[in-house]
Every structure is written in C-alpha cells, then in structure tokens.
Structure 1
C-alpha cells in the first residue's frame, strides 16, 4: 500500500516535490521527479542524479545511465523520459535497507539544483516472537537491517543469545567472521543477504542446549541497533495437526515426569499455561478445565475452537527440557455451496408431483362425466326400441318382459354399474 503526502514549494525557481511512500519488502515503487522546463532538452546535455544520503543510486549522464552497487538489476531510470522532463526512478524488489530520503538533483554549470525529494519507508516482514524446531533439523532465524557501508564502524552484524553469560553467537565485521566455539561449524550468516539487508542466522543441527532468546544487532548511524529478538525452542518431538472445529486432538506428553503444558496462539507474543500433569493427576487453567482429559500418555483437548490454533509445548518441570511440541491448525468446514440448489430442486419436484396429481384427478372426473353421458344416451335408445317392439310385434310379448342388463366398467374403478331395462307393467 502506498501512502503519499505531497506538498509543493518553489526552490531557486525550480519546482520541488517532497513525497512520502510506504511499501513492504519486495514491492515495486516509483520515486517521482519531474521538471517540465527540461522538456526537449538534449539528453546529452543532462546530468541528473538520484542519491540516498551520500550514496549514489543512479545517474543519467550524457545519455548513459549508471547505477550504484546496491541498486543494480533492480532499479530503472528510463532515459527516454528525459524528453518529457521526467526523471522518475523505479525500484523493483525493494529491500528493508532502501528506507531513507532520496534526492533528485541536476548539475548545471558545476552547480547542483534540487528537482525533488522523496522519503521511502520500507516495512520489513513481521518477525515471529518464537521459533520451534526439532533436534537435529536446521533452522533459520530471520532479521532485516541496513548495514552502514560508509560510516567509521561500517559493516557490522552480530547475533547474541541472551542468557546468564550473554553469549555472542557470531559476528560479521568488514567481511570477516567470528563464531563462538560452542556454535562452530553450525552457525553462519548468508553473506549474499547482507547486501540485501537480510541478516538471518542459520543454525545447523540444533541441540536442546541451543534454546534461548536470540537477538540480531547491526550498525546504523554509527550506533549498534537491535533488529530482531526471537525465542528459539528446541524439542525432542514435533507434530503438526489439522483438526476440524468442534473435534478433539491428542497432545503426546512423551514424559513420565511432571510436566507443564504451554500454548502460544498464532500471531501471539506471549505463551499461556494450559495444564500441569504430575503422577497421573491433571490440573488445568479455568478455560481448559472442562475441555481437557488425561488419556494415558496423551492430553486430550476437546471441543476445539478456532482460537486453539497455535503451538502447544510440553516442558519437563525439573529439567526445563521441551520434550514435545504440537503445532495445531483448527479449521471450520464451510457449508456445501450446492446445498441451496438441492433445496430448490426438491421444492420443484414436489410442485410437479402435486400438479400431476391434480391433473390426474381432473382427467378422471372428465372421463367419468363422458361415460355417464354415453350411458344415458344408451339407456334412452334401448327404451325407445323397447316401446317400438311392443306396438308392432305383439307376438314377441314374452321377449319384452325379459330384462336387459348392461354392465359398464368405469375407468380407474373396480365397481360395475348395472342398468336394467325391464318392461314396466304400468305401460
């Protein structure tokens, strides 16, 4: 994120802009510098420089651009911009040591005139308050700091461990290394990182006795300054677990001695006590009392919360030795994104079924009405025939006294309807 605070003033008749820009390590940034009075000036006649303090960053001189040793391959001063009076400097892959006040100046007749001034503030990544590592596995403790290349105490980087003896782990001064015999062949500094203001301590084959608070120091403005302070924990056993919200997790104790269980939340700086285990008895802090159970050689933590994400460590009370570390990440399973579609689909099917039932009932009703109409017509026709036979065929009077029975099967019904056409004595 870039923040710009700009004001404009007139300096020796030349427009000067002072700007503040905030970036993070690795970002790209453009430092503005423009003077429209220099528009269309032949580039061969220009001598424009960018400086950070006394350090040369870049120089446009007679059409050629040169860069300082710390800015090569990551800065650009486009020469073609000079035709527009634009001398803005582009810095890619910013480093922590790039912070400072940059000046853009032009030399005219052996005199310098300021064109602009930019303050660049590069934010270093946040340091972890604690680092956990298993015995024998290499570890890197990060540190960012600007090494003073030009002061009288130039080029000094030091890593100390704060203990009763204030142990000096290593020191790098003007290209030469000193390493404490306790860390011989195990502690080192990445020399290529020093130029990039990255000053990490690389510790190989760490041991239990290497635990402690490590401090990174460097020279700035002829003073030794602290850049980072990191607590290193070396453990015999380390486990990483991902568990779902609301479930349980088992923390292996790996000790029969009295132990203390501690917790460092993700992004936190301070550890908190969780439980004490001694001779099969469990004593926990209030917030853990109802969620912890001693299960043989494990401490079971139930009903996991998102706030339980972090690092649990088991330390023997007497020896202060860390015997077990559990790095826990608690996650919540998101609802199925298609669940809403299933509900809509089910409702749609229900509507179709109900509609089909109503249609079936309506069709059946219409068919019954049609059958009843046809039946009525048949009955009338039979009665007409019966009357004609009585008046014109007296010799068949026995037949007219017989019954005519019609059976009608209604659709979708198991009942039979009987209609009788018997001779009516009253006729």
Structure 2
C-alpha cells in the first residue's frame, strides 16, 4: 500500500524546469517538493551536471552529507532542518556569483523508488553593473573629481546583505566583496551590533589579540585583498548585524558593508500531558570521543550534561533530575537530541545544545524552542460543574497516586491506595471534586469540579506518581471563566440578573447578591424570607427574587429602574452555615439616555453606549 501511494505521487511530480533571474551577491531559494516522509531512508541531492563533482548539496535523515560537495558551494548552501520530514526540499543558496548560472537538478534516492529526478531549476545570475555601466561610472568620476581616481582613500561605500541559516549549522559566511581597488596595507575590522570586535586583519595577518573573547576561535577571513573580505563565522546562534569596515593606513574609511544574519530557531510544539518530547539535533560532523555536550536554558541552568562518555546528573539543575535522556553512542552517531519527560508550560524555553572539545573550544552549537500547549476549558460562571479532561492510554500500576493541584501546596484532589483522600484536600475544594471510578484501569483521570466560580480561575496540574514517588505522567489544564453579560437601556422598568442552579436547595441556605466594586448588598434571602434590613439604601424597594427560589433553584434577581450608575459587576453567593457552596457573577451594562435640545427647542432622548455628550453652555434642558 505504501509503495502504491508513493507511485501515485510520483506520477504527479513535475519535472519541467523553472527559470529564475537574480543578481550577483543576492540569495535565493531553489524550490523543490517531494513526499519524502512516505519513504524509509530518503536522500535528497541537488546537483549540476556541468560540474565535477556535480553535487551542490546532499541531505540524509541524519543531516547534511557534504563530503562530495563541489568546493565552489562550500558554506553557501543550506536546507531546512526538517526537510525530509515535511517534504520541503528547497535549497537556500547565498552570495550568488556569475558562475552559478546553470540548471540545478533536485533528485531523491531511496531503496523503495531508486533514484528519481524531481525538478530542474534554471538560474541566471546577472551583474549589478554591466561592463559598459562600469566604464561610464569611471568616466563620470573622472569628470567630477578632477585628477581623481576611483581608488581614492576617502571613498566611502555602504551596502547591506542578508543571510539566513538554520540554528545548528557548523558555520555561515558573511559576505563582504568589492570591485573597488583597495591598498594592500589596508586594515579590515569586523564588528557586531554591540560594537564588539569579531575579527581584525592588519599588516598582512589576523590580529586575534584584538578579538572579543566571545569570538575567539570562531572566525576565519578569506583575506583576498583587494576584493573578497568575507568572514566565516562558526556556530551561529543569534540574529545580529555584522559590519565590515576597511581603513586606510591613515585611518580613513575606504569601505563599509553591513551583513544582517538571521538564525532560524526550530520550534517544537506538544500538548501538555504527553509522556515526553524530543528536542532534535543531528550532525554529520565527526566528534572526538572526549567531547562534552551540554543542554542549557541559560548560562547557569543546565538541563543535561554528557561528559567523559557518560551522563553527569549531579551537574543538572534539580528541576530536570530524572527527566532527561540522551542517546547511547551519541558522539559516534551524531544524534545529540534530548528527550524531556513530562513537559509542562514551565518548560517553555529556548534550549541551547553546545559541544565542547577537551580544551573547551566550541565545536557545535544549536538552539531549539519548546512550546507546550496547555488546553483551555472555558465555562460560564454559575454552571453546576465543569470537567478538566485527562485521558491516557499509558498502563498505570494499581498502587499509583494521582494528585490534582493548582500550586505546589494547594491540593485540589488526591487519589491513593485505591480511593480518594479528602483529608489531603485544601478546604476550598472539600465536597466539590470528583474523579471516575476505576480511573487507573480506564486511564480517565479527568476531574469534575462542582459549583465553579471565577475564583477558581487557575492552571490545574495532574501528576501521577509510582509507589516510589517517581513521576509517571503529568498534564496541565487551564480553567477560564466567562462572565455572563446583561445589557439594558436606561429607562427600562427593570432588568434581570440571571442565576439558575440545582433545584431543592436546603432550607437553611443563605443567598446574597452584592455589588462587587463597593460590596453594597443588593438583596439578602435567609431563613426562608427576604432580609430588607440588610440591603444598602440605594437598593431598598428596587429588588425582587422569585418565590419558592429554593425549590426551583432560580436565584435570579430583578433590579427595578436601572440607571447608568448601576453598570458594573454583581455577584450572587449561596452559603450554608457560613460556608460558600456556589455562586455566579453577572456583568451589567446600562446604556445611558441623554436629553438633547434640537433646533426647534423640543427635547429628545438619545441612547448611548458611551459617556453622554456634554451639553453646550447655552443649551437649556
């Protein structure tokens, strides 16, 4: 079946050549798409038939394989890190040269399909200034500057290039080329946006003692004066702007160019509740046996350390103890991926993997951004109950312990030794939570929370422990309340604040409606009747609740003659023996009515959902 799907897809693959026209020094993407995710061990090859060797770029599942790459493309090609997983086999080619004009072929090899040519892309690279334009420019300069030369020491030239690479590449080339004649005794300085010296070349040699410490051993310059001053930067990890400046012996600026470097950081997204997540990092670089590998989220927070051919758990931050794992023989296979168990939104960081030599030099560096999605449950205040979902197919032991919490110390529900443990609950949640029977057998660890209010807004974490207190599973669910909104126009006879709950409430309950901002009581019902003496004076004779409200469960409040001053948030609370058992919040908006005098002197009413328009001083109402 799999072979049939691949064959059908191959019938639809276009092999017609497309044509692209660009200028030297620019970058481009050569497009190619193929469903390599249907294959077992695919290899993609970009090639030029007119070259020997013909390989422009090659990618395998393990990463780039560039040992047979034609040297004229060294450091100028890259592909997306997940190319073979997504089928996007496009090739990024930087610093275009006139000699790059050719037809490029994208091919896929696999034991299932053999070798297939996917597409051809024809590229034509043009000069920014043709020969006749350069000659004209020289002539104009000679005319403007009497007796001057194009190679004048005070000449200043600025241009900007953009380079984009994936985090984890071994190196990137920052292009700085010119056709301007530069003196052999010129000084070349590369700096970053923070004005730190990245590389210095002077008196015919590099000057490493002038480099900033962060760039030691990471740079190499072509030093092809007068034309190519490009810089190779190892292990790029962050976006930055690099400036190449050339000075004359007298300190005058002869040339200045900016290169903007963009480093694409791959993002891994998972849902809270998965058993583990992998942060990918594969390399084809030959790593020494005594190399050190560190995964970090900051300069001081170590997630995982591999050194002296084994893991070093004592060097980990305690938050990651027993939660991380790396592959065996990682230095031999080049698979430096990190597996992180029980991820939560507290693990949302950019993780950096750095490989060091025995001497402490950086050999490789890559960043991966982790995003853990926390599912959100929305419910309107006043509902009877809400369920926080958590289902798993993971086989749970009979002696497992299940805890729902909203913080490290506030336990919402505890299940252990085959039954609920209400004595471990926080008092706010007593008699308000419920979990399914046989939850360990069914894998349904969902929590039902009764009579939720907006005070229950929080992120709830469910953790499953083994008898030895090892974490088996972990999931987060965010509970968010939406407030019931009621709108009425000022002048209406009355408005109702709705609240319907369980029928046949106990006779000894107390029901209170109050204004949230001022705590003024609108209405109080207790001992089977209204308690008008407890009302705030502003609401005397203006409120009413249904008869038999305890039997019907209809606790709605009718407010008579609402005005714009009554706009705000109101809350109803139901108590029994001074213990809160349920409640609801209602947002009331009363749209004001403004009296406006028209040109005839008549008075009209106008409703407004915003502040009334002020009357003019000469208007009488």
For the pair shown, which has the larger CA radius of gyration, 1 or 2? 1
- Using structure 2 for the length normalisation, give the TM-score: 0.25
Higher share in helix: 1
- Using structure 1 for the length normalisation, give the TM-score: 0.35
